Homo-oligomer: A and B are copies of this chain.
């Protein structure tokens, strides 16, 4: 399957490399696809990433990546996601699934960053409202990039990931992608408004990271 990832940072690179390893076709969409040598925060340059993927991973503009993907992923920083999707022309790509993994974090007042999500500020809802053609599924925003693609590397995979979205078929497709990474406990929270839960949880995640000293953590929902 062709996967078009909007974004080119650590999350985009990690998801992209993992899917390439499964034999999927992947393009990363970036603001300027000619800037292959820029250093990325927590990640390699895009030229290095391409080399690591034996040049199978494509680097395209936002717009070309959105056109390329049969399924799309929003892996931009949450504070710029709406802008990136506008630049990608996401309103013109038809009824594609958008796997929405972003968080709105603000590091402008220092570390730890502040999670900006709130009852009346949910990124996934805003994206779904502005791009009603897309089938938005919020998922994976509750773990870091390394846990996203290798859940079994933490506690043998005995922890939980969530999906929120209005379209049952889209959620089923996303569940298959999650299972492809090894996720076993996938909890469907409901429609896209339930994404407020995992987005506001980011404020908790940041404290768990601070208290445990590792970002390789996740919650197991005991019920």
Contacts and interface: CB of A to CB of B under 8 A. Distances in A.
Contacts of A200: 115, 117, 200-201, 203-204
Contacts of A155: 222
A206 B216 contact: no
A129 interface: no
Copy tally for this chain in the complex stands at 2
Contact of A223 (B189, B207, B216, B222): B216
Given A114-B119, A115-B200, A200-B201, A154 B222 contact: yes
Interface stretch (A19-27, A37-45, A191-199): A191-199
Contacts of A117: 200
Contacts of A220: 159, 219-220, 222
Interface string A169-207: 000000000000000000111100010111011011111
A107 interface: no
Nearest to A121: B118
Given A221-B219, A222-B154, A197 B189 contact: no
B190 A210 contact: yes
8 contacts: A118-B119, A187-B212, A189-B207, A196-B203, A197-B203, A201-B203, A218-B221, A220-B222
Interface in A116-135: 116-119
A221 B116 CA distance: 22
Nearest to A198: B204
